[in-house]
Protein backbone atom coordinates (compact mmCIF):
# COMPACT_ATOMS: atom_id res chain seq x y z
CA UNK A 1 0.00 0.00 0.00
CA UNK A 2 1.21 3.50 -0.73
CA UNK A 3 2.02 5.55 2.30
CA UNK A 4 1.81 9.20 2.97
CA UNK A 5 3.55 11.29 5.54
CA UNK A 6 1.53 13.73 7.53
CA UNK A 7 2.63 16.65 9.63
CA UNK A 8 0.72 18.67 12.18
CA UNK A 9 0.65 22.13 10.61
CA UNK A 10 2.68 24.35 8.39
CA UNK A 11 5.71 23.13 6.49
CA UNK A 12 7.53 19.90 5.68
CA UNK A 13 10.93 19.21 4.13
CA UNK A 14 11.99 15.58 3.73
CA UNK A 15 15.63 15.06 2.87
CA UNK A 16 17.00 12.19 0.81
CA UNK A 17 20.01 10.99 2.81
CA UNK A 18 22.08 10.21 -0.28
CA UNK A 19 21.30 13.10 -2.57
CA UNK A 20 20.38 15.73 0.00
CA UNK A 21 17.23 16.57 -1.94
CA UNK A 22 13.69 17.03 -0.70
CA UNK A 23 11.43 14.05 -1.41
CA UNK A 24 8.32 16.16 -0.97
CA UNK A 25 8.95 18.90 -3.57
CA UNK A 26 5.98 19.32 -5.92
CA UNK A 27 4.21 16.22 -4.54
CA UNK A 28 0.44 16.07 -4.02
CA UNK A 29 -0.62 17.62 -0.73
CA UNK A 30 -3.73 18.31 1.32
CA UNK A 31 -4.56 19.95 4.63
CA UNK A 32 -7.28 20.15 7.25
CA UNK A 33 -7.96 23.79 6.32
CA UNK A 34 -6.59 26.73 4.35
CA UNK A 35 -6.46 30.27 5.71
CA UNK A 36 -6.86 31.87 2.28
CA UNK A 37 -6.71 29.54 -0.77
CA UNK A 38 -5.44 32.07 -3.30
CA UNK A 39 -2.43 32.83 -1.09
CA UNK A 40 -1.74 30.05 1.37
CA UNK A 41 -2.53 26.88 -0.58
CA UNK A 42 -0.93 23.73 0.96
CA UNK A 43 1.15 23.25 -2.19
CA UNK A 44 3.17 26.31 -1.09
CA UNK A 45 4.79 24.09 1.52
CA UNK A 46 6.46 21.92 -1.13
CA UNK A 47 7.14 24.38 -3.94
CA UNK A 48 10.90 24.30 -3.34
CA UNK A 49 11.05 27.89 -2.09
CA UNK A 50 12.30 28.55 1.43
CA UNK A 51 11.38 32.20 1.96
CA UNK A 52 10.71 32.43 5.70
CA UNK A 53 8.26 35.30 5.75
CA UNK A 54 4.48 35.39 5.74
CA UNK A 55 4.07 36.95 2.32
CA UNK A 56 1.02 35.58 0.56
CA UNK A 57 2.76 33.21 -1.89
CA UNK A 58 5.65 32.10 0.34
CA UNK A 59 3.98 29.76 2.80
CA UNK A 60 1.09 27.46 3.67
CA UNK A 61 -1.19 28.60 6.47
CA UNK A 62 -4.11 26.67 7.92
CA UNK A 63 -7.26 28.06 9.48
CA UNK A 64 -8.04 25.54 12.22
CA UNK A 65 -8.99 26.61 15.71
CA UNK A 66 -6.67 25.94 18.62
CA UNK A 67 -6.72 22.23 19.46
CA UNK A 68 -7.00 20.86 15.97
CA UNK A 69 -7.23 19.10 13.73
CA UNK A 70 -4.32 21.19 12.35
CA UNK A 71 -2.74 18.77 9.90
CA UNK A 72 -0.88 19.04 6.62
CA UNK A 73 -0.17 15.98 4.49
CA UNK A 74 2.03 15.03 1.54
CA UNK A 75 1.58 11.90 -0.57
CA UNK A 76 5.06 10.66 -1.50
CA UNK A 77 3.63 8.31 -4.12
CA UNK A 78 5.91 5.37 -3.33
CA UNK A 79 7.56 3.91 -0.23
CA UNK A 80 10.71 5.53 1.12
CA UNK A 81 12.96 5.16 4.11
CA UNK A 82 12.69 8.58 5.73
CA UNK A 83 15.90 9.54 7.51
CA UNK A 84 14.80 12.92 8.79
CA UNK A 85 12.05 15.48 8.47
CA UNK A 86 12.82 19.18 8.56
CA UNK A 87 10.22 21.91 8.95
CA UNK A 88 10.50 25.66 8.54
CA UNK A 89 8.39 28.23 10.38
CA UNK A 90 7.82 31.81 9.29
CA UNK A 91 7.71 35.27 10.78
CA UNK A 92 4.57 36.10 12.77
CA UNK A 93 3.88 32.35 13.07
CA UNK A 94 6.95 31.25 15.01
CA UNK A 95 5.16 29.14 17.62
CA UNK A 96 2.62 27.51 15.31
CA UNK A 97 4.84 24.43 15.14
CA UNK A 98 5.41 24.05 18.88
CA UNK A 99 5.72 20.34 19.78
CA UNK A 100 4.78 19.34 16.21
CA UNK A 101 4.08 15.69 15.46
CA UNK A 102 5.19 13.73 12.38
CA UNK A 103 3.31 10.53 11.59
CA UNK A 104 2.40 7.96 8.94
CA UNK A 105 -0.98 7.22 7.43
CA UNK A 106 -2.35 5.25 4.49
CA UNK A 107 -3.72 7.03 1.42
CA UNK A 108 -6.88 4.92 1.61
CA UNK A 109 -7.77 6.28 5.05
CA UNK A 110 -8.82 9.66 6.37
CA UNK A 111 -6.56 11.68 8.65
CA UNK A 112 -8.13 11.23 12.08
CA UNK A 113 -6.56 11.62 15.47
CA UNK A 114 -5.58 8.43 17.29
CA UNK A 115 -5.54 6.44 14.03
CA UNK A 116 -2.05 7.02 12.62
CA UNK A 117 1.36 5.98 13.91
CA UNK A 118 3.53 8.70 15.38
CA UNK A 119 7.09 8.74 14.03
CA UNK A 120 8.33 11.41 16.40
CA UNK A 121 7.37 14.59 18.16
CA UNK A 122 9.58 17.67 18.38
CA UNK A 123 10.23 18.18 22.08
CA UNK A 124 10.91 21.93 22.21
CA UNK A 125 9.41 25.27 21.34
CA UNK A 126 9.73 26.66 17.81
CA UNK A 127 9.76 30.26 19.00
CA UNK A 128 12.60 31.35 16.70
CA UNK A 129 12.37 31.70 12.91
CA UNK A 130 14.43 28.71 11.85
CA UNK A 131 14.31 25.12 10.62
CA UNK A 132 13.48 22.29 13.03
CA UNK A 133 14.35 18.65 12.46
CA UNK A 134 13.34 15.26 13.80
CA UNK A 135 15.53 12.29 12.88
CA UNK A 136 14.56 8.64 12.62
CA UNK A 137 16.60 5.50 13.18
CA UNK A 138 15.93 1.76 13.09
CA UNK A 139 17.73 1.30 16.41
CA UNK A 140 16.82 1.90 20.02
CA UNK A 141 17.61 5.43 21.15
CA UNK A 142 18.35 6.02 24.83
CA UNK A 143 17.39 9.26 26.55
CA UNK A 144 18.92 9.42 30.02
CA UNK A 145 16.99 10.94 32.93
CA UNK A 146 13.80 11.05 30.86
CA UNK A 147 10.49 9.22 31.27
CA UNK A 148 7.35 8.97 29.16
CA UNK A 149 4.67 9.59 31.77
CA UNK A 150 1.79 7.68 30.21
CA UNK A 151 -0.05 4.50 31.14
CA UNK A 152 2.09 1.61 29.83
CA UNK A 153 0.65 -1.38 27.99
CA UNK A 154 3.02 -3.57 30.03
CA UNK A 155 4.81 -3.03 33.35
CA UNK A 156 7.35 -5.63 34.48
CA UNK A 157 10.52 -6.00 36.56
CA UNK A 158 13.68 -6.30 34.46
CA UNK A 159 17.21 -7.07 35.63
CA UNK A 160 18.84 -4.58 33.24
CA UNK A 161 18.22 -2.03 30.51
CA UNK A 162 18.88 -4.70 27.89
CA UNK A 163 16.33 -7.04 29.46
CA UNK A 164 13.76 -4.23 29.45
CA UNK A 165 14.38 -3.52 25.76
CA UNK A 166 14.11 -7.25 24.96
CA UNK A 167 10.77 -7.41 26.80
CA UNK A 168 9.61 -4.45 24.78
CA UNK A 169 10.69 -6.13 21.53
CA UNK A 170 8.81 -9.30 22.42
CA UNK A 171 5.59 -7.34 22.87
CA UNK A 172 6.20 -5.26 19.73
CA UNK A 173 6.28 -1.96 21.53
CA UNK A 174 8.02 1.18 20.35
CA UNK A 175 9.00 2.88 23.60
CA UNK A 176 10.08 1.86 27.09
CA UNK A 177 10.97 3.43 30.44
CA UNK A 178 13.51 1.77 32.75
CA UNK A 179 14.57 2.64 36.29
CA UNK A 180 17.99 1.26 37.27
CA UNK A 181 17.21 1.32 41.00
CA UNK A 182 13.69 -0.12 41.13
CA UNK A 183 14.21 -2.26 37.97
CA UNK A 184 10.76 -1.21 36.76
CA UNK A 185 10.30 -1.54 33.01
CA UNK A 186 7.33 0.22 31.37
CA UNK A 187 6.51 -0.66 27.76
CA UNK A 188 4.39 1.28 25.25
CA UNK A 189 2.94 0.15 21.93
CA UNK A 190 2.83 2.30 18.80
CA UNK A 191 1.75 5.76 19.83
CA UNK A 192 -1.06 7.36 17.88
CA UNK A 193 -1.61 10.98 17.04
CA UNK A 194 -3.60 12.89 19.61
CA UNK A 195 -3.71 16.24 21.34
CA UNK A 196 -1.55 14.95 24.18
CA UNK A 197 2.20 15.27 24.25
CA UNK A 198 4.25 12.10 23.82
CA UNK A 199 7.52 13.76 24.79
CA UNK A 200 9.52 12.06 27.56
CA UNK A 201 9.77 14.41 30.53
CA UNK A 202 12.77 14.98 32.86
CA UNK A 203 12.92 12.22 35.50
CA UNK A 204 16.10 11.53 37.48
CA UNK A 205 17.04 7.85 37.53
CA UNK A 206 14.90 6.87 34.55
CA UNK A 207 15.93 6.06 30.98
CA UNK A 208 13.52 6.33 28.08
CA UNK A 209 14.16 4.17 25.03
CA UNK A 210 12.51 4.84 21.70
CA UNK A 211 12.47 2.63 18.62
CA UNK A 212 11.77 4.13 15.22
CA UNK A 213 9.95 1.86 12.76
CA UNK A 214 10.13 4.28 9.80
Q: Answer yes or no: do 161 and 101 share one domain.
A: no
**What is the per-residue pLDDT for 2?**
34
CATH code for position 54: 2.60.120
| CATH code of residue 205 | 3.50.4.10
Whether 146 and 197 map to the same domain: the answer is yes
Last residue of a domain, one of 73, 103, 135: 135
Both 190 and 111 in one domain: the answer is no
Residues 93 and 158 in one domain: no
Neighbouring C-beta atoms of residue 125, cutoff 10 Å: 12
Does residue 63 sit in the same domain as residue 82? Answer: yes
Q: Are residues 63 and 87 in the same domain?
A: yes
pLDDT, position 206 = 98
Q: Are residues 107 and 186 in the same domain?
A: no
Q: Are strands 175-179 and 201-211 parallel, antiparallel or unpaired?
A: antiparallel
Q: In this structure, are 98 and 160 located in the same domain?
A: no
CA atoms of 210 and 139, how far apart (whole Å): 8
List Cα–Cα distances, 68 to 8, 31, 64, 72, 100, in angstroms: 9, 12, 6, 11, 12
Q: In this predicted structure, what is the pLDDT of residue 212?
A: 57
Domain span at residue 117? 3-135
pLDDT on residue 19: 53
Residue 53 shares a structural domain with residue 118: yes
Q: State CA 79 to chain mean position distance.
A: 17
Which of 135, 160, 192 terminates a domain? The answer is 135
Same domain, 14 and 115: yes
Which of 135, 159, 191 delimits the end of a domain?
135
47 and 88 share one domain: yes
Is the bond preceding 69 in cis, omega lying within 30 degrees of 0? yes
124 and 175 within one domain: no
**Total domains present in the chain:** 2
Residue of 119, 131, 115, 110 whose CA lies nearest to 10: 131
Residuewise pLDDT in 10s, the chain (214 residues): 333 344 433 333 344 444 567 888 889 888 888 988 888 888 888 888 877 677 777 788 888 887 778 888 888 888 887 778 888 888 888 888 888 888 877 767 777 776 777 777 787 788 888 888 887 766 778 889 999 988 899 999 999 999 999 998 888 888 899 999 999 999 988 676 555 567 788 999 999 998 754 3
Amino acid sequence: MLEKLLLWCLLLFMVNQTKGASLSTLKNVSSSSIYYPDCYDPSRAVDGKYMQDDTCVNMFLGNDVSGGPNWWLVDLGVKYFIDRVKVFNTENHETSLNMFIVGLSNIATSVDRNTYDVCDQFSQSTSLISSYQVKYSKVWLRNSNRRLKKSPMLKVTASSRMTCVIQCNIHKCCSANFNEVSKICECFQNLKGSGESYVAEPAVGWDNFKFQFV
